[in-house]
Amino acid sequence: MSKKRKTPEELRSHRWYGVNDLRSFGHRSRTAQMGYSREEYAGKPVIAILNTWSEINPCHTHFKQRVEEVKRGIWQAGGFPIELPAQTLSEPFQKPTTMLYRNFLAMEAEETIRSYPADGVVLMGGCDKTTPALLMGAISMDLPTIFLPAGPMLNGNWNGVTLGSGSDTWKYWADLRAGKITEEDWKGVEGGIARSPGHCMTMGTASTMTSAAEALGFTLPGFASIPAPDSRHAQMSAKTGMRIVEMVWEDLKPSDIITRKSVDNAVTTCLALSGSTNAIVHMIALARRAGVDLTLAQYDEIARRTPVLANIRPTGKYLMEDFYYAGGLRAMLKELGELIDGTQMTVNGKTLGENIADAQIYSEEVIYRRAKPLMPDTGLAVLRGNLAPDGAVIKPGAAEKRLHVHTGKAVVFKDYNDMAARIDSEELDCDENSVIVLQHAGPVGAPGMPEWGQLPIPQKILQKGVRDMLRISDARMSGTSYGACVLHVAPESFIGGPLALVQDGDLIELNVPERRLNVLISDEEMARRKAAWVAPEPRFRRGYGAMYQMHVMQANNGCEFDFMQRDGVGGSCASAGGEPEIH
């Protein structure tokens, strides 16, 4: 790619700082108020650093230090850094779910970049929704942008046992409920499962989405796999600061990086990692910001050809720290061969193929060879049928195989509270072949489509030693979860989707190889129930929630706001006809 290098007068910030008028006087005098003399910023690229650090986000605790390293790099390369706080979206603490606020941060990122004198942008994220949200906003603004991934935390440890975020929480919680471990053991797990800064180190949404960001071309090569506390993470942060300054002069923008092929690369990456099902929703939303109309059907098509190579929990055995030592994402991408389009541009000005050319696998236990993959193609399946006309998803690799083709009687819970109240009741009419159904857990109904999709197994069935059952909801599921959980059922039950019409005792049929999900009732019966269905009261009456419920689209459309779309596709990327700037 050869573009003319920008001159200082062509910088966007020149309009704020370089013009000799009254408004620029104001900007310069107020910059002087902050202690900067003209020599420190005049004619230099202004770099906005969107930092999602906060005192309640454990995954980003090191961002206070990392942002200083980014600034160091920016200064050294001749730029002028401005740190701007952005919503922290702390996965463990924010209720009802960070997903309710993903679009809020995406809008905040876009409008922050738009309204301040940014020439280039560093996005600092990692905890689940922060990565897609920041990228969505930056893609829409289309200024030179680089992503700094928080990096995974170190492996968890308790009494010599390696612990993985989320996955081992569910595992030991089930053991505690089944009486297999003591309260003291449970406390030990609590103390050892998260023992350093960084995002979840299993293949949850965070590891999946930061890896997708790297495969898309938005990070320096190899960055997404480096554990947060590693000194190489700090070094990469400084290099990220250096590189963004050069990207501004080169005018290397998201629209040069995100294409149909780079989106396919990112989807392939998510699948080869056996990544979180949440990535589907996020990839659809961010691809459409760039005018790339990613659909569930295309996702399924890529899933059918993509082997799972990463042996990482919850699908596999190891954790992100092991993945890094085994060669990391670059090594896995290289092993994927022609399934990855190496011609795609990345933020360092080189192609993805150039960036991975010298990568090597150092442990075939952690990163499998393509000739002998961990799983041939079972990372993800998109289902359809009368229960999910607009689609649903399942991660077959994380489910017991006997449940891939299964028919069972529905046990229906009308919402989360109903499920919490009755799931462990001795009276509950169910056995291990039953199908647990949760309603009102979708984007509008829950609200925010929380990660409730790994529905609990009734205690009386757990006590029989059963560890998996078919479970269906319109919720999402944490990427660190596992089990035969059908998720993202669309349209959702709260707005009258067929899931709302399922009743106790209905037979539900799942067939993963044939991608089918049906409730075995007649069309006439379905129509009769639909006619009798009464819409529930809206969740919100005012504020952001009211706007959210009015405009959020269903999971198959990435849970994006309808008003962020243009021309029937999602794109509001400047190259796809974005909003004009008002200065």
Asked if residue 560 binds ligand FES (CB under 6 A), the reply is no
As a whole number of angstroms, the longest Cα–Cα distance in the chain is 78
Which of 128, 214, 250, 300 is in the footprint of ligand FES by CB under 6 A? 128
Near ligand FES by CB under 6 A, which window of 198-206, 292-300, 531-539, 551-559? Answer: 198-206
The answer to whether the beta carbons of residues 146 and 121 sit under 8 Å apart is yes
Which of 156, 204, 408, 456 is in the footprint of ligand FES by CB under 6 A? 204
Cα 54 to Cα 59, 272, 376, 407: the distances in Å are 10, 32, 41, 47
When the beta carbons of 54 and 557 are compared against ligand FES, the nearer one is 54
Asked if residue 127 binds ligand FES (CB under 6 A), the reply is yes
Asked if residue 374 binds ligand FES (CB under 6 A), the reply is no
Rounded to an integer, what distance in angstroms lies between the CA atom of residue 345 and that of residue 351? 4
As measured in angstroms, the least distance from the Cβ of 53 to ligand FES is 13
As measured in angstroms, the least distance from the Cβ of 261 to ligand FES is 28
Determine the 3-state secondary structure of 543 from DSSP. helix
Give phi and psi for 324, each to the nearest 5. Answer: -65, -45
When the beta carbons of 106 and 519 are compared against ligand FES, the nearer one is 106
Which of 105, 143, 200, 216 is in the footprint of ligand FES by CB under 6 A? 200
End-to-end CA distance of the chain: 30
Asked if residue 206 binds ligand FES (CB under 6 A), the reply is yes
When the beta carbons of 45 and 204 are compared against ligand FES, the nearer one is 204
Cα 272 to Cα 11, 332, 380, 404: the distances in Å are 40, 8, 10, 20
Helices (H), 392-479: 416-422, 459-462
As measured in angstroms, the least distance from the Cβ of 57 to ligand FES is 7
Please give the single-letter amino acid code of residue 523.
Answer: D
x/- mask, ligand FES, residues 153-172, rule CB under 6 A, reads ------------x-------
Asked if residue 28 binds ligand FES (CB under 6 A), the reply is no
SS3 annotation, 330-389: HHHHHHCHHHCCCCCECCCCCEHHHHHCCCCCCCCCCECCCCCCCECCCCCEEEEECCEE
When the beta carbons of 92 and 496 are compared against ligand FES, the nearer one is 92
As measured in angstroms, the least distance from the Cβ of 208 to ligand FES is 10
Encode burial over 331-361: b for 16+ CB neighbours within 10 A, e otherwise.
Answer: bbbbbbeebbbbebbbbbeebbeebbeebeb
As measured in angstroms, the least distance from the Cβ of 135 to ligand FES is 16
Encode burial over 193-214: b for 16+ CB neighbours within 10 A, e otherwise.
Answer: bbebbbbbbbbbbbbbbbbbbb
DSSP assignment letter at 310? B
As measured in angstroms, the least distance from the Cβ of 128 to ligand FES is 5
Determine the 3-state secondary structure of 163 from DSSP. strand
As measured in angstroms, the least distance from the Cβ of 524 to ligand FES is 46
Asked if residue 91 binds ligand FES (CB under 6 A), the reply is yes
Asked if residue 275 binds ligand FES (CB under 6 A), the reply is no
When the beta carbons of 57 and 311 are compared against ligand FES, the nearer one is 57
As measured in angstroms, the least distance from the Cβ of 164 to ligand FES is 11
Which of 8, 18, 43, 92 is in the footprint of ligand FES by CB under 6 A? 92
Q: Which residues lie near ligand FES (CB under 6 A)?
A: 59, 91-92, 127-128, 165, 199-200, 204, 206
